[in-house]
């Protein structure tokens, strides 16, 4: 653990020198370049504290009260604007300080504070900068962000990472301070103060416009190996300790997938197949779960299942989420296996691990279970506890567990259905069960091999956009580009865009040049009030023969938060899809197939 903490310090120092910190660096130097001699230290400490708290837990707190992450950016903007204006406008700092002194002895802008050393006012401004300080995320920072702050080890690594970053930032701030002191010694102090104030105000305006997010996206896309410590973080020593930090079980080292057994395979053949499924270790328990579905018996309420209680049965653990089109396409097979083998000793458990915030809602999950006609048990994995226990990385993913509770087979993504069913039958035979005939899935949809790749409408994982999503409210213009390249997307109108959803404000639309048989979009409507999305294909209202299942009279009526089918064609075709959104509708992710 000590070695990982040492690596985290070095990684933090390296990432503090990366291009991703440039959006806040001018404000950092400006805020440390004025006020008392201890102000740079206060600025860096304030930034480090709020940055550390943010990456290890503040997101969970804010989400819990329904505020999202934008209020933290709003705090940063307010403090930077006030501090910058205090430097620019003579006398404003005194008036602001007089008001703040009723609460605490904090100065604004570093002009005058209690004791005259600038430390407390530096804490205030640095604390605000910590909310928008986003160094390039290497493996260490990514692991810290993705793991719950409940682990003391996670907090220790996060603090070490932040301290490494703080050391470099303090050196930069002190260096800037020395340069500014020389300028002041030359009699240009007032002009310097106003210039630094303008820098802070300009930073606040850039944050309001989302320029910092856009810059980070550009760096991530166009500057390879941007993290100066990337080679260190990718070393075997670091990788092994990051695996320890995440709390994930070891990756299950599974044998090759079995050959597809014939429908009338003998017991001897199935037992031979089972012998080829090597033991990958004891299956983890269902961990940190929430509500269970489809486990009630005889009118009793749903009860939690455990791997221990399922001993003697073959268990298929299926990781899924109800808006994932790849997961949805596996459901006909899962339902068929449940119907064919439940009475013969198979239990399927759907572990619903959400991708979007609204997928945490138990009511939404219950509605999806009913809509898809699932009869096997499903459990909510909102905190990714069971996901992490398996070391899982994919939606969908299946883990097949034998009657003794050991993992014997795994499959990720779509496909391998025949091999998976062969493995199910083999393990049932190994447990002494008579398997009978194979299943008969219905409603199967085969995905296209040339389909447009999925993309997201929020800033977190957007790709393929002509003008990338910009955080906050932004007007993308009244009309989309006349020509779009294949797999290219474009916004029109005014949108309010966050990390996950993009919400239509006025005149909002999306155009995409796609190639696929089917097109889908995850949508929700504010307050679940019915709102419409107009669907056009090649500039005209979509004809009924090409419309998806959720399109009626050329429009989708959005109510619940789910995946909506927009286009359904006879085969893979290239078209221009245009969507026009009523205000209050949020879009999350496009998928094609």
Is a pLDDT exceeding 90 seen at residue 435? Answer: no
Q: Which of 210-219, 280-289, 477-486 has the lowest mean pLDDT?
A: 210-219
**Per-residue pLDDT tens for 553-581?**
999 999 988 999 999 999 899 999 999 99
Q: Tell me what pLDDT residue 266 has.
A: 65
**Per-residue pLDDT tens for 79-93?**
778 777 877 876 665
Q: Tell me what pLDDT residue 297 has.
A: 67
Interatomic CA distance for residues 266 and 371, integer angstroms: 37
Mean pLDDT of the chain: 79
What SS3 state is found at 426? helix
What SS3 state is found at 245? helix
Neighbours of 21 (CB within 10 A): 21
**Per-residue pLDDT tens for 1-35?**
566 677 677 777 776 777 667 777 888 888 888 77
Structure tokens at 190: 């007032």
**Per-residue pLDDT tens for 165-174?**
889 888 988 8
Give the helix ranges, DSSP H, for 113-233.
Answer: 119-130, 139-146, 152-183, 189-208, 211-222, 230-233
Is a pLDDT exceeding 80 seen at residue 515? Answer: yes
CA 572, 578, 579: angle at the middle one, nearest 5? 115
Structure tokens at 31: 């805020």
Is a pLDDT exceeding 80 seen at residue 114? Answer: no
DSSP state of 406: B
Top mean pLDDT of 57-71, 195-209, 276-290 is at: 276-290
Residue 260 or 253, more confident: 260
- 455-592, which class in CATH? mainly beta
Is a pLDDT exceeding 60 seen at residue 136? Answer: no
- Domain regions of the chain by residue span: 2-241, 267-430, 455-592
267-430 and 455-592: same fold?
Answer: no
* 537 in Cβ contact with 576 (< 8 Å): yes
Topology of domain 267-430, CATH = Glutaredoxin (3.40.30)
Q: Tell me what pLDDT residue 471 has.
A: 86
Q: Tell me what pLDDT residue 67 has.
A: 36
**Per-residue pLDDT tens for 339-385?**
999 999 999 999 999 988 888 889 999 999 998 999 999 999 998 88
Interatomic CA distance for residues 426 and 276, integer angstroms: 10
- 193 φ, ψ to 5°? -60, -45
Q: Tell me what pLDDT residue 70 has.
A: 53
CA atoms within 13 A on the CB side of 305: 24
Q: Tell me what pLDDT residue 215 has.
A: 66
Structure tokens at 43: 């600025």
Q: Percentages helix, strand, coil for the chain, rounded to the nearest 5?
A: 40, 20, 40
Q: Which of 113-117, 316-320, 337-341, 457-461 has the lowest mean pLDDT?
A: 113-117
Q: Tell me what pLDDT residue 545 has.
A: 94
* 502 in Cβ contact with 530 (< 8 Å): no
- Respond yes or no on whether the N-terminal peptide bond of residue 442 is cis (omega within 30° of 0): no
Q: Tell me what pLDDT residue 71 has.
A: 61
* 312 in Cβ contact with 431 (< 8 Å): yes
Q: Tell me what pLDDT residue 135 has.
A: 63
For 180, 304, 312, the CA distances from 296, given in Å and listed in that order, are: 71, 9, 20
């Amino acid at each position: 653990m000590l070695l990982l903490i040492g690596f985290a310090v070095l990684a933090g120092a390296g990432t503090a020198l990366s291009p991703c910190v440039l959006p806040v660096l001018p404000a950092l130097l400006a805020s440390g370049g004025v006020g008392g001699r201890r102000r740079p230290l206060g600025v860096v400490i304030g930034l480090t504290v709020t940055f550390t708290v943010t990456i290890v837990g503040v997101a969970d707190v804010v989400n819990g009260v329904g505020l999202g992450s934008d209020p933290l950016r709003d705090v940063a903007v307010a403090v930077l604007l006030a501090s910058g204006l205090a430097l620019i406008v003579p006398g404003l700092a005194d008036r602001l300080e007089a008001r703040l002194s009723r609460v605490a002895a904090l100065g604004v802008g570093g002009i005058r504070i209690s004791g005259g050393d600038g430390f407390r006012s530096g804490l205030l401004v640095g604390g605000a900068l910590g909310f928008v300080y986003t160094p390039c995320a290497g493996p260490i920072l990514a692991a810290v962000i993705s793991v719950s702050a409940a682990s003391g080890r996670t907090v220790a690594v996060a603090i070490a990472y932040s301290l490494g970053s703080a050391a470099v930032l303090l050196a930069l701030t002190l260096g800037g301070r020395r340069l500014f002191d020389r300028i002041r010694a030359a009699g240009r102090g007032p002009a310097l103060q106003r210039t630094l104030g303008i820098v802070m105000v300009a930073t606040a305006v850039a944050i309001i416009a989302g320029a910092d997010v856009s810059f980070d996206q550009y760096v991530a896309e166009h500057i390879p190996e941007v993290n100066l410590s990337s080679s260190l973080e990718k070393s075997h020593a670091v990788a092994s300790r990051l695996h320890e930090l995440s709390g994930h079980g070891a990756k299950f080292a599974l044998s090759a997938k079995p050959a597809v057994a014939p429908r009338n395979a003998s017991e001897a053949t199935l037992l031979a197949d089972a012998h080829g499924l090597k033991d990958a270790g004891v299956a983890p328990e269902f961990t940190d779960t929430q509500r269970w579905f489809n486990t009630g018996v005889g009118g009793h309420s749903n009860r939690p299942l455990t791997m221990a209680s399922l001993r003697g049965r073959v268990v298929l653990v299926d990781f899924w989420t109800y808006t994932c089109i790849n997961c949805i396409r596996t459901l006909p097979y899962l339902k068929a296996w449940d119907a064919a083998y439940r009475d013969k000793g198979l239990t399927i458990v759907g572990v619903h691990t959400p991708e979007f915030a609204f997928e945490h809602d138990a009511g939404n999950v219950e509605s999806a279970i009913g809509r898809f006609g699932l009869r096997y048990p499903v459990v909510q994995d909102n905190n990714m506890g069971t996901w992490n226990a398996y070391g899982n990385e994919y939606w969908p993913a299946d883990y097949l567990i034998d009657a003794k509770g050991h993992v014997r087979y795994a499959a990720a993504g779509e496909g391998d259905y025949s091999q998976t069913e062969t493995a199910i039958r083999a393990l049932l035979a190994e447990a002494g069960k008579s398997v009978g005939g194979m299943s008969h899935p219905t409603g199967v949809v085969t995905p296209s091999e040339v389909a447009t790749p999925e993309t997201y409408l929020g800033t977190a994982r957007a790709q393929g956009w002509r003008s990338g999503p910009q955080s906050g409210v932004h007007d993308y213009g009244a009309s989309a580009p006349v020509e779009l390249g294949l797999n290219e997307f474009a916004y029109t109108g005014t949108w309010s865009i966050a990390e996950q959803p993009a919400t239509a404000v006025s005149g909002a639309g999306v155009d995409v040049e796609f190639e696929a048989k089917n097109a889908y979009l995850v949508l929700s409507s504010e307050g679940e009030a019915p709102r419409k999305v107009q669907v056009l294909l090649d500039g005209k209202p979509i004809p009924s023969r090409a419309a998806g299942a959720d399109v009626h009279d050329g429009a989708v009526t959005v109510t619940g938060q789910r995946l909506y089918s927009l286009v359904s064609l006879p085969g893979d075709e290239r078209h221009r899809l245009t969507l026009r959104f009523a205000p209050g509708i949020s879009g999350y992710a496009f998928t094609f197939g």
